[in-house]
């Protein structure tokens, strides 16, 4: 009798274990289905389009015609880019027109202006010499300038002596009638100072 009762108890335990296992499996499957359905109802995340902004501090290459005429006639052929021996001229990332960023690579005012020679759309017109270039004009921020600390790197860098240092006050000044907006002063200022004190205002905004 004891063996018989013991065998019955073992059978009951196995049967109960199976029922519990099946019950837990059904519950787990139900939870999985619910989670799947809940996530199916969630719309896929929409990727926001990348917005490319256009910088406004660019200059046109030397000899550029008025901006409206430039935009109407330039073919974006990139011949002026290829002709520039210093790799100064580049294409705008938005408009694809030729531009110069003076704080990166300023115009070197080549003697023969190969960029102008290469332009067949006549949007870069010949100039008699580099003093006739009108790319913009340099403006100076005395608040950011470190001339009072002895810096005058832009003075020696200017190809037309358009920047002067007053050693009595240790202040710089820009002679607008001599400045052609090449940007060489801006590039050297960025290279030697934490803040750029001299920047070229593009001719199209003057």
The length of the chain in residues reads 206
Q: Is 61 exposed, middle or buried (0-12, 13-18, 19+ CB in 10 A)?
A: buried
Mean pLDDT by 10 residues, the chain (206 residues): 50 57 60 63 61 82 97 97 97 95 96 97 97 97 94 95 94 95 97 95 93
Instruction: Using alpha carbons, list the distances in angstroms from residue 71 to 75, 95, 154.
Output: 9, 10, 32
pLDDT of residue 1: 46
Query: Taken in order 120, 182, 84, 61, is the CA torsion positive or negative?
Result: negative
Pick from 29, 183, 166: which is nearest to 109 by CA? 183
pLDDT of residue 70: 98
pLDDT of residue 204: 92
Q: Is 197 exposed, middle or buried (0-12, 13-18, 19+ CB in 10 A)?
A: buried
Instruction: Using alpha carbons, list the distances in angstroms from residue 34 to 20, 25, 29, 39, 77.
Output: 21, 14, 9, 9, 60
DSSP assignment letter at 149: G
Give me the CATH topology for the region 67-205: Alpha-Beta Plaits (3.30.70)
Q: Where exactly are the structural domains of the chain? A: 1-46, 67-205
3 state SS of 151:
coil
Q: Which run of H or of E encompasses 70?
A: helix 67-73
| pTM of structure | 0.73
pLDDT of residue 54: 72
């Amino acid at each position: 009798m004891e063996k018989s009762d013991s065998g019955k108890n073992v059978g009951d335990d196995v049967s109960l274990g199976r029922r519990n296992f099946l019950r837990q499996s059904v519950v787990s499957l139900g939870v999985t289905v619910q989670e799947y359905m809940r996530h199916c109802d969630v719309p896929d995340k929409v990727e926001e389009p990348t917005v490319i902004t256009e910088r406004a501090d660019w200059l046109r290459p030397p000899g550029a015609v008025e901006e409206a005429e430039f935009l109407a006639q330039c073919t974006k052929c990139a011949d002026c880019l290829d002709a520039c021996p210093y790799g100064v001229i580049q294409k705008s990332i938005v408009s694809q027109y030729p531009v110069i960023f003076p704080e990166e690579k300023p115009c070197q005012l080549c003697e023969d202006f190969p960029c102008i020679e290469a332009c067949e759309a006549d949007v870069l017109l010949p100039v008699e010499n580099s003093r006739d270039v009108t790319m913009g004009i340099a403006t100076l921020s005395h608040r950011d300038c470190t001339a009072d600390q002895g810096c005058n790197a832009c003075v020696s860098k200017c190809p037309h002596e358009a920047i002067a240092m007053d050693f009595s006050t240790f202040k710089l000044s820009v002679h607008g009638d001599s400045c052609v907006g090449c940007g060489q002063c801006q590039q050297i200022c960025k290279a030697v100072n934490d803040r750029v004190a001299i920047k070229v205002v593009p001719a199209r905004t003057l």
